[in-house]
Structure 1
Amino acid sequence: MTDTAPRRTDLWAVSPADVTTPEALELLREYYYDVANRYYRLHLGREGTPEELESGLADSPSDDLTAPDGLFLIGRHDGTAHSCAGLRRLDATTVELTRVYVRPGLRGTGGGARLLAAVDEAARSLGAERIVLDTRLDLVEARALYLRHGYQEIPAYSNGPYAQVWYGKELTAPARPAS
């Protein structure tokens, strides 16, 4: 049976947030556990242990997602925090997108689309003309989301252990209202 119900993106609101708040830290922990456990299941045939996951989380700080060269966004569905994304400046015109996460129970409700629209706005506010990101090949849902929202595969710009595919998006100036 195909779900034909309209997506209620109006239930989603995205705004900048302090990356050190309890709700931001909770979302970042869920994000990390989600992507890390997918890796463990794919490559090791098991879930990560709590010690492995906490150690990995500690080795992946998000404290650079703050002004003046970064930004953290939280998406709220019907008022409750359920998604996040971060931006960090790489150079004068380029920002890197990272920590993109929508809680599994709300995937497919338009939250990813609303989050990426807010990312574009936030990137422009940082003076960016381009957004880049790296991800893993097994994160197929995220990769499909990026492609649906104007990202294209680009040559590697980073060499982290989990960077397997790279995407970029050129930002156009926002449309000006007719006068």
Structure 2
Amino acid sequence: MTISTQRGTTEPRPTDSWAIAPADVGSAEALALLRDYYIDVANSYYRLHLGREGTAEEIETGLAGAPSDDLAPPTGLFLLGRYDGEAAACAGLRVVDATTVELTRVYVRPARRGTGGGKRLMAAIDEAARALGAERIVLDTRLDLVEARTLYTRHGYREIPAYSDRRYAEVWYAKDLVRADG
């Protein structure tokens, strides 16, 4: 959907064209989104700390060292977001224990940012976490991923003490889920 501006040009406008549903984490669409996600966050790191983009070898090595196989039942769930039918966003949930899941691999393709996909994805994450029996969602991220951190805090996540010692984890968040029936 587009809207007219006073100068006669058009600008993209958020629409209700997002559909988010569980998907096979090993599907071609999921793997392409996960690759784009990894390239995006890796290059952010390389630019900040090394002043350059990651090399193809660094990206491939990083991808190989960060499998997403556990984002499938019974250990997790992978959500795929479609914008006008095209795969454009994703998120994963990893079961930590009977009442806690960990959020990971949250990504919206740059061309679809600002169209409401992040908001829709976050709502779908909450719903999927509840369906898994979770009462709490936790996550870790890097300090330089400001847009992601803003998305989390806008959707009820609060900073918590470290619960992991992963190499790139610099800040930890949690969100207590309100039960849909209460």
- Report the alpha carbon displacement of residue 175 of structure 1 after superposing the two structures with TM: 4.8
Structure 1, unaligned runs of 5 or more: none
Distance 2:132 2:181 in 1: 17
1:156-175 aligned within 5 A: 156-175=162-181
Compute the displacement of 1:105 (Å).
1.1
Give matches, 1:32-111, under 5 Å.
32-111=38-117
One-letter amino acid of the counterpart of residue 17, structure 2: L
The amino acid of 1:72's aligned partner reads F
- SS, match of residue 65 in structure 1: coil
CA contact (8 A) 1:86 1:97 kept: yes
Offset at 1:174? 1.2
Q: Residues of 1 paired with 2:122 and 2:146: CA distance? A: 16
Q: Equivalents in 1 of 2:135, 2:110: separation in Å?
A: 31
> Please, which of 152, 157, 175 is the counterpart of residue 146 of structure 1?
152
Identify the residue that residue 135 of structure 1 maps to in structure 2: 141
The runs of 5 or more residues in structure 2 that have no matched partner are 6-10
Cα distance in 2 between the residues matched to 1:92 and 1:175:
19
Of 9, 14, 22, 1:7 maps to: 14
Aligned length: 173
Percent identity at matched positions?
71
Contact 1:87 1:97 in 2 (8 A): yes
Supply the RMSD in Å over aligned alpha carbons: 1.5
Which is worse superposed, 57-66 or 167-176?
A: 167-176
Contact preservation (8 Å) 1:82, 1:102: yes
Normalization by structure 1: what TM-score? 0.93
TM-score, structure 2 normalization: 0.92
Are the aligned partners of 1:74 and 1:83 in contact in 2 as well (CA < 8 Å)? yes
Instruction: Give, as a single letter, the amino acid of the residue that structure 1 aligns with 2:14.
Output: R
Work out which of the residue numbers 1, 18, 21 in structure 1 matches 2:24: 18
- Which amino acid in 2 is paired with 1:120? D
Secondary structure at the aligned position of 1:96 is classed as: strand
